[in-house]
Structure 1
Amino acid sequence: MDTPSASFTPLVPGMVGMVLVGSSVSVSHALVDAPLFTAQAVRYAAATAILLLLARLAGARPVWPRGREWLWLAGLAVTGLVLFNVAVVRGVAHAEPAVIAVAVASVPVVLGVLGPLLERRAPSRQVLLAAPVVVAGAVLVGGTGRTDAAGGAWAALALGCEAAFTLLAVPVLGRHTPWGVSVHASWLGAVLFAVLGVTCEGPTAAREVTGAQWAAVGYLALLVTAVAFVLWYSTVRTVGAGRAGLLTGLAPLAAAAAGTATGAGVPGTTVWVGIAVVIAGLVGGLRARRAPALGTPSGRAPSADAPSTAPTRPDPSRRGSRLS
């Protein structure tokens, strides 16, 4: 894995990816009445084809998994793709969508703690302090909502699956790169959803999908899967799962903006306050830390009386026999 970076530029792909994910909420509404498993199977199959084409154009060559990598990638597909989608769909039957959204928005706290541990680093104090701020802002944006015990359980499952989507990729990003992880997650997800679709919805369920729903599937396959996956994993690989996790706070902001653009109305005061809180948390958690100016622990220049710790060059005159 790459060494996590403190600069801002590596964060941009992840930010764009989260904006795409958040803006897809309004598109996903078109699939409410569609056969869930079949539509998702087509989505991830199409995304796999798109990813292979884009990877070829980019000069990337995904490699075949080996050994334990199968467990990480299969676990990612089962939790981050299949169970997550099931949890969201089943969850909204027992709870308001805001409850599920708030649960997912709590991901920064989980990634801030577990992400660095998987990367064999200590959690960043800066990220740990910023994560609850981002979550609080996301709660204000998404609202609290009503739920029952089953809805709370589905929300908790959605939270765990969303975190697993990032955490289970960490051990394999080094060898497989964001392209490889995205390709393997997509085709594994397509196979799993196809099996569920044929078993639960029947082999002819695709005939029930309307033209508008196929358009939504295409959007999700291209932008929210093929493009967003690679962008997200690129940032995770570069800056680490802990810092990247803060960017998930952008998703509810993008969802609110998309809702406004599609005629859902202008957000209320609470939403605007939540947006401000999320931004404050992101700025605090993602700002680059200044390195000490002269390499000393305090960043201050050593005084003239302080002993020098720099290595001294050997005097050539005392090494005559070695220089001859």
Structure 2
Amino acid sequence: MLVVVLIWGANFSFMKMALAEMSGLSFAGLRFSLAAVILLAVLKWREGSIALPREAWWTLVWMGLLSNTLYQVFFMYGLTHTSVANASLIIATTPLMVSLLGAVTGIEALRRPVVTGGVLGFAGVALILAGKGATLGVGRLAGDLAIFGATLCWAVFTLGVRAMRIRISTLRLTAWTMATGAPGLLLLGGPGLIDLDWGGLSVRAWTGIWYATLLAIVVAYLLWNNAVRVVGSGRTAIFNSMIPLIAMLVAWPLLGEHPRPIQIGGAVLIVGGILYSRRASPAPRLAAARPT
């Protein structure tokens, strides 16, 4: 589990390395198309077939559009315009968003730890959004809000998964939502990929592309689901809350992004809110790992 946390935490910086030389949508289209092909191959190898029940098609299509296409549109814009620290901290509030939306929609019970954790977590986000300083401007605020939009997309997707009546494996769910979400990203990012000077991409950019595709999606996904089976969803969620810390520590030497006091304060509130909200939290019936 610690390996997955390290991979996902570092992934924010590796993606920014690639985004310095190509557009966010082109990067996402390339990355998710490659990952979809690889995961479908893994699905075929592990389960013997990539087929879906006929009644699952439209459900998986809208889930793919929400969790991959729309999510990545928000996420790529946000990561391009904000810091690794801000992006990783706001993304970390996803479990809180899931719990609160689940309570509002009646999918989950509204428990006191969820309310308290939500207040703490979103106070941390507010602290980050309201922060002043040379590194925070209108563009960065728009980036932060876009990351928050990505978080909302993933929360709605997660609740949709929990409410889904069709029983399929987590690997099949992830492979097919990626396969149905990738075409939209490829369509949006295609013009940029056609015009891209592939020979001019630096080693840093290629490292970012392959790290974000092979390690952050394929390898981390397989390790994540094995960890959930071995140690349970509660403990994996605790490990997951370490991702912003890893992201900030990696961005410091790789990108020169120094953590600011307001980000550290926001991190304390967000991580504290996540951990508190997990008290007596029931394990989800089915959950897909979130690819950053």
TM over 0.5: yes
Deviations 1:48-90 (A, max 9, x none): 23323444555575541433x3333222322222223222444
Whose radius of gyration is greater, 1 or 2?
Answer: 1
1:45 lines up with 2:36 in the alignment: no
Query: 1: CA distance between counterparts of 2:197 and 2:244?
Result: 31
| Contact 1:110–1:163, Cα closer than 8 Å, also in 2 | yes
Cα 1:215–1:168, aligned 2, differ >3 Å: closer, same or farther?
A: farther
Q: Percent identity?
A: 21
What 5-or-longer segments of structure 1 have no aligned partner?
1-11, 290-324
| Contact 1:48–1:226, Cα closer than 8 Å, also in 2 | no
- Paired positions, count: 271
Cα 1:235–1:128, aligned 2, differ >3 Å: closer, same or farther?
A: farther
What 5-or-longer segments of structure 2 have no aligned partner?
282-292
| Greater share of helix | 2
Opposite residue 138 of structure 2, the aligned amino acid is T
After superposing the two structures, state which structure 1 stretch, 208-217 or 244-253, moved more.
244-253
Q: Give 3-state SS (helix, strand or coil) of 1:34's partner.
A: coil
The aligned residue for residue 212 of structure 2 is 220
The structure 1 residue matched to 2:70, chosen from 80, 83, 96, is 83
Opposite residue 192 of structure 1, the aligned amino acid is G
The structure 2 residue matched to 1:196, chosen from 188, 192, 216, is 188
| Contact 2:28–2:76, Cα closer than 8 Å, also in 1 | no
Shift of 1:171: 3.7
Opposite residue 179 of structure 1, the aligned amino acid is L
Cα 1:50–1:26, aligned 2, differ >3 Å: closer, same or farther?
A: same
Q: Give 3-state SS (helix, strand or coil) of 2:68's partner.
A: helix
Deviations 1:30-56 (A, max 9, x none): 222214433322212221233234445
Query: 2: CA distance between counterparts of 1:119 and 1:270?
Result: 35
Shift of 1:262: 3.1
Q: Residues 199-278 of structure 1: matches in 2 within 5 Å?
A: 200-201=191-192, 203=194, 205=196, 207=198, 210=201, 211-229=203-221, 231=224, 239=233, 249-262=241-254, 264=256, 267-278=259-270
Which one has more relative contact order, counting CA pairs under 8 Å at least 6 apart?
2
The structure 1 residue matched to 2:98, chosen from 107, 111, 126, is 111
- TM-score for both structures, normalised by structure 1: 0.64
The structure 2 residue matched to 1:23, chosen from 10, 17, 26, is 10
| Contact 1:105–1:138, Cα closer than 8 Å, also in 2 | no
Root-mean-square deviation (Å): 4.2
Cα 1:55–1:26, aligned 2, differ >3 Å: closer, same or farther?
A: same
